[in-house]
Amino acid sequence: MLADYAVRVERTRGRRHPEPPHPYRNEFQRDRDRVIHARSFRRLENKTQVFTARVSDHFRNRLTHTIEVAQISRTIAEQLGLNVDLAETLALVHDIGHPPFGHAGEKALDAAMRKHGLFFDHNLHALRIVEDFELRYAAFRGLNLTFEVREGIIKHSRDYSAEQHPELSEYLLDQKPPLEAQLIDLTDEIAYNTADLDDGYEAEVLTVAQIRENVPAFERAYQVAETRYPQAIEKLKFNEALKRFFNQLVTDLMNHTRERVAKAGVKTLDDVRSHPERLAAFSPAMDAERRRAKEFLYANLYYSPELRADKERAEVVVGELFEFWMSHPEELPRSYQAKAKEEPLARIVCDYVAGMTDGFIAEQHGKFLGDRG
């Protein structure tokens, strides 16, 4: 049963290009399946989550991270009476606009664009992908997703103003997104905060002692694991503690969001949209725990000495290739050369670079600029 404030698929604002209904899938299920079968979705398998150079069959990549976000989002959406199909679709598409080499690649790409008076935003790039770049259908460009999915792509993690982004005016920028979209940025944080602790430990960049000392919620969970399983090896105690921390984050987000909805007197989707602030949120106490974990990861993993060289190299590769194609647009694929006649060259180069996998951009750097380092 859907809550009164959930998005109802039968009330969708529809697709840019009308299509007849499918005999056995609703509109959001069709969107989910179109995302899963998209080339840009498959490329996530070879895009960095945290580690750009270290090789392991067990580290998360953008694709496995996305699957984890979808699992968390489905669970919470169902418990809150939200539209699970919409929440799942938004989770699956939320990282589709990320460039190679994770946040290092995004930083370098944005810096390169700003030299030309532009910028890179992975949410807006994701919208370009689903609206234009994916070519699967003879009747239209892009995936022709429903309004609700396209809106969620750009609004799930931040608010855009109509003054700064008039091109997005159709997406109700003066209103908050539905709860299904509001959840995604928070389930994304649950996924990467816990998974990155796991991968950091697996990579031997982080130690259990470090995490226990700096992440209080993990420390309390580890104490429980030690009490219950005193004979277990450290890895299993670590797993138990991380699972408990994960469950606490999920449960808190679910319960506190429910409390905020009730306190705000929200009854309908219009109430969600017109509320002055987003309703999906952690409790203040859990939000503090989340921030502690995130700060620890930034200080000890993302910007650690062990990963610094990899990130710096990633930024060099992105920056140098961007400037190479700006100087030599004739070396771009023909389809991109054709598009450069309609849009600024920097935007077209950005589109090309952002779509690359880690391996392909390294190969291109070696091809055009010599030693891949």
Q: Which residues contact 22 (CB under 8 A, 6 or more apart)?
A: 30
CATH of residue 29's domain is 1.10.3210.10
For residue 237, is it within any domain?
no
What's the mean pLDDT when you consider all of the chain? 95
Q: What is the pTM of this model?
A: 0.95
| The pLDDT of residue 52 is above 70 | no
For 264: left if phi > 0, alpha if psi spans -120 to 50, otherwise beta; the answer is: alpha
pLDDT the model gives residue 56 = 66
For residue 205, is it within any domain?
yes
For residue 333, is it within any domain?
no
For residue 140, is it within any domain?
yes
Residue holding tokens 């389930």? Answer: 187
For residue 265, is it within any domain?
yes
For residue 165, is it within any domain?
yes
pLDDT the model gives residue 1 = 87
> What is the arithmetic mean of pLDDT over 210-226?
97
Q: How many CA atoms lie within 13 A of 20 on its CB side?
A: 3
For residue 13, is it within any domain?
yes
pLDDT the model gives residue 20 = 96
What tokens were used for 315? 């930024």
Q: Domain residues for 92?
A: 9-98+123-212+245-290
Q: Per residue in 32-51, pLDDT tens?
A: 999 999 999 999 999 887 77
Q: What angle do CA 288, 69, 310 make, to 5 degrees?
A: 80
**What band does 58 get if pLDDT is binned at 50, 70 and 90?**
confident
Residues in the chain: 373
Say how far apart CA 45 and CA 42 lie, in whole Å: 6
Contact 318, 105 (CB under 8 A): yes
> What is the arithmetic mean of pLDDT over 323-330?
97
209 or 53, greater pLDDT: 209
CA-closest candidate to residue 94, choices 156, 141, 39: 156
For residue 59, is it within any domain?
yes
pLDDT the model gives residue 202 = 92
pLDDT above 90 as % of the chain: 91
- Exposure letters 92-123 (e unless 16+ CB within 10 A, then b): bbbbbbbbbbbbbbbbbbbebbeeeeeebbbb
What tokens were used for 225? 């694991």
pLDDT the model gives residue 54 = 60
| The pLDDT of residue 362 is above 80 | yes
The DSSP code sequence of 196-258 is: HHHHHHHTTSS-HHHHHHH-HHHHHHHHHHHHH-TTS-HHHHHHHHHHHHHHHHHHHHHHHHH
- How far is the CA of 35 from the CAs of 48, 52, 66, 138, 168, in angstroms? 19, 25, 12, 17, 21
> What is the arithmetic mean of pLDDT over 302-329?
93
Say how far apart CA 90 and CA 87 lie, in whole Å: 5
Give Cα 333 distance to the centre of its chain.
Answer: 28
> What is the arithmetic mean of pLDDT over 102-130?
95
Q: Per residue in 270-283, pLDDT tens?
A: 999 999 999 999 99
Q: Which residues contact 174 (CB under 8 A, 6 or more apart)?
A: 162
| The pLDDT of residue 373 is above 60 | no
**What band does 57 get if pLDDT is binned at 50, 70 and 90?**
confident
| The pLDDT of residue 372 is above 80 | no
Longest Cα–Cα distance of the chain, Å, equals 67
Overall number of domains in the chain = 1
For 144: left if phi > 0, alpha if psi spans -120 to 50, otherwise beta; the answer is: left
